[in-house]
Structure 1
């Protein structure tokens, strides 16, 4: 089984898509796919489908959705080469004590591959292998084809999972930009960071990186303007002032024509203790 969730949901068995079109069975498949090879409690599935006030028929209706998914899986399993032990849909979508389990069967998962590449990238950063870190993190981010579960109507459980995945994506993106800054690619980053600070208008680290890239590109006044816009957004939206790290970064830009990269970098990272994220779509 191959599972992609970093974009539209795509689940394939033997290369055949097993995607229901109805919203609720699609939710069930998405949640099972996110917890592949783990038992998902019935109660959690019921909450995702109907919230805190499920109908009396909730469990029976859930069983119907499971049967629909098994029919799709069974159709995809047809035509398997004879000679081995036949695998049924019930072997792939298993009824377990208290819940259901979707077996991955050793197939691919874009989330697992993202986590693997991102982890290697973080370790490369720790080892100050910035070239390797930038490459690995870029490969990890390339696995995303849009917002996680872009074509699934999310309930409370799926919404929480989507937020977790998006935070992981943003962390990898921030680290990749940091690696590129370490490699002197500040001019190449200006366009990307312009978009990011517009999208995440109170994310202090991204604004700090944008300030640094602008200053190193000889655009000191624009770097200071970025700080002022960030401060206005923080005060207006959250009632907070920029962190001490961002204030030090602003002072360093004000006081030096060409700030030492090491000093500026430490100031940018000092803001990490107070990251605040407000996305503007």
Structure 2
């Protein structure tokens, strides 16, 4: 079994995805998987499923949804009802718990690979970091829970996951740049700089990639565009790190003198 939340919600068996068609049980399953191996309280379910307007039958209806989920697991995993209740979707005091091993949930696999990549990046083992961080990104199959309308409990977790994905992408590109792969990531950064016009990390990495690819004037023009965007739209000058990147391009600094984005994050700079 493999549970998928980094994309369309599904339970995969032998690589084949299985999903629920019913809206509310699917939402309940998403909440359980986001909190895998932890108790989701009855009140947490009620808030997610009905927000501030739960029906008088909310508790009974939730129990029906849990029963539907267990039947889904029985069919999908080819297990007994007793196994589903005792070892997968458990009833515990105050709520319910979905039990999975770390390797069975894509979210956990993503976090583990990302942590390994960060550790390698911190020791400047750029080749290993790039491999580990790309592996983390490849766990994703689309936007997190893209087919599950998010309520007040799921929505902030999904936003957090998308932010974590973006940070991993930034650090992966940093590792690629550390390996000298500036030309290989140039087209990716060109697209990302348009998609994230206020993300100074990606903008600075785009400048570095352009500069190292022999396009110094384009890198300087990119900085002027970024600066104008930040001043006009946000009322801020570029961060000190982005200004350092600009200065490094102006002085035609070598690769060893270029400020790295992951080092910037270690000191908590803006952007």
TM-score (normalised: structure 1): 0.87
Q: Residue 260 of structure 1 aligns with which residue?
A: 254
Per-residue CA deviations over 1:87-107 (Å, capped at 9, x if unaligned) read 433222111111111122566
Q: Residue 231 of structure 2 aligns with which residue?
A: 235
Post-superposition, which runs of at least 4 consecutive aligned residues in structure 1 deviate over 6 A?
Answer: 13-16
Cα gap change, 1:237 to 1:100, in 2 (>3 Å): farther
Q: Residue 19 of structure 1 aligns with which residue?
A: 19
Cα gap change, 1:220 to 1:93, in 2 (>3 Å): same
Contact 1:18 1:72 in 2 (8 A): no
How many corresponding residue pairs? 268
> Are positions 1:88 and 2:75 aligned together?
no
> Are positions 1:98 and 2:94 aligned together?
yes
Cα gap change, 1:231 to 1:56, in 2 (>3 Å): farther
Cα gap change, 1:210 to 1:44, in 2 (>3 Å): same
Cα gap change, 1:67 to 1:17, in 2 (>3 Å): farther
Q: 1: distance between equivalents of 2:261 and 2:35?
A: 38
1:267 is displaced (CA, Å) by: 7.4
Cα gap change, 1:77 to 1:150, in 2 (>3 Å): closer
Q: Residue 195 of structure 1 aligns with which residue?
A: 191
Unaligned runs of 5+ in 2: none
Q: 2: distance between equivalents of 1:267 and 1:46?
A: 42
Q: Residue 148 of structure 2 aligns with which residue?
A: 152
1:264 is displaced (CA, Å) by: 2.0
Unaligned runs of 5+ in 1: 81-85, 276-281
SS of 2:145 mapped into structure 1: coil
SS of 1:273 mapped into structure 2: coil
Cα gap change, 1:79 to 1:184, in 2 (>3 Å): closer
Q: 1: distance between equivalents of 2:233 and 2:41?
A: 38
TM-score (normalised: structure 2): 0.90
